[in-house]
Amino acid sequence: MRFIITLSYDGAAFCGWQVQPGDPSVQECLEKALSTLLRQPVSVTGAGRTDSGVNAIGYVAHFDIVDVGSCDPALLAYKLNAILPPSVVVHSIVRADGDFHARFDASQRKYTYFLHRLKDPFVERYSLRRDWDLDFGAMNRAAALLLGRHDFACFQKTGTDVKTSVCTVTEAFWAPYEPAHVSLMGFAPAAPDPAGAAGVAGAAEAAEVAEAAEAAGAAGTAGRLREAGTCPGGECFPQTPGSSGFAPVETQGLPGTGTNVFVPAGLDAKGWRYAYFRISADRFLRNMVRAVVGTLLEVGRGKRSLESFAALILPVAPAPAADGTEKANSVRSEAASAVDSTKRAESVRSEAVSTVDSTEMADSVRSEAISAVDSTKRAVSVRSEAVSVLGGRGGGAMRSQAGDSVPGHALFLSKVEYPTETAALPAEDAHHLKH
């Protein structure tokens, strides 16, 4: 008999979900507890890996019991919570169809990364503190480039053994939020740098911020908190285009985007306090979310251009090739095309000189020359990638082009979604679903 178990865990004490020899994992912890209670060996299959230190809410796994006997799923969940450590909690256990698979049946996975600016002892454990001016408009423009089906090899951990690095991202954005201790109890921000490094200059402005926080805690309404992206319980509400918390931002000239990216109000570069990044996809690569966040922070600090970020999101090859040969051939072809453009640039320059007396013709030729020179630069980049691919799979070289990964303590696997016909099954006769 197959069962679905839904749980949440604090990842601080674990090396991740998957069993690792010599290191504590959530999977091992759960398997030991189930085997103890059921008095038989139990193997648990999860919805996917989480990195060391990463947290999960509503994580889904399945396990099989050979000798079901009088097993009561509700009682089993209760007993599990009694023997599992405080860092792991079981929400439910339900019977499932024998064909259900927690990993392969999952259609979407959602991650959330938390960020705060000023010292706050109540969020330090689950949020990354960075006292930086951040251009969230640029960060959301860059995040919009992630949407769609792309090759994310540049963002995966070096040495990862996977058949494909292609993922389909359906959601990626930054938004503000306000923790419950701020919205309900009026927690004031830490004293800012008098020199203005924290974006608040002078004691008078700091007092205004504290007063505003206190007022929000005393008189805030659920409606206003929802507009800010939060509710009194601390849950983040994703804001949608057209809501009062969003302002449209044009993204002209950037590949892979629509006409607008909606950037939440309340995330100005100097005045922001709490923010989160939300990303959803059909699958994720090892270390992918942490690398994406780290690279987006570079964009927000002005250390990386949108064009540089876009270059890390690779097009999907026509057909997968395990040894990289087809990709190498494709890169060679592109390199050859770019080299041809280089020759064309030289020809165009000569033509520009010969037609200098004809103003209109010269302007046209100069424009084409500039375009060809850009192609020359692309040729250099493509040649470099070709060398990387021909020298191996090129994962290490590509990963080094992205930003540094952020710490895992502020990252949550916040939702795993399944198609309706294979979702977690609450009904007692769930095993009859497909029969």
The residue ranges of DSSP E strands in 117-190, in sequence order, are: 128-129, 148-151, 166-176
Burial of 319 (0-12, 13-18, 19+ CB in 10 A): exposed
Beta strand 411-417 pairing with 55-64: parallel
| Cα–Cα dist 376/341, whole Å | 7
Torsion of CA 304, 173, 288, 320, to 10 degrees: -100
The DSSP-derived string for 275-289 is EEEEEEES---TTHH
What lies within 8 Å, CB to CB, of 353 at 6+ separation is none
Catalytic residue among 10, 51, 105, 120: 51
| Cα–Cα dist 433/4, whole Å | 14
| Cα–Cα dist 80/364, whole Å | 74
Measured CA distances, 412 to 58, 252, 268 (Å): 10, 32, 24
**What stretch of H or E contains 16?**
none
Residue 10 a catalytic site member: no
| Pairs from 393-396 (Cβ < 8 Å, separation ≥ 24) | 393/323, 393/324, 394/153, 394/324, 395/153, 395/156, 395/158, 395/159, 395/160, 396/158, 396/159
Residue count of the chain, please give it.
Answer: 435
Q: SS3 of 166, please?
A: strand
Structure tokens at 85: 């450590």
Measured CA distances, 8 to 26, 38, 46, 273, 421 (Å): 10, 21, 12, 27, 23
Torsion of CA 191, 197, 198, 199, to 10 degrees: 120
Question: Contact at 8 Å (CB) between 164 and 320?
Answer: yes
Around Cβ 321, how many Cβ atoms within 10 Å? 13
Structure tokens at 339: 């080299």
Could you give the residue numbers annotated as active site? 51
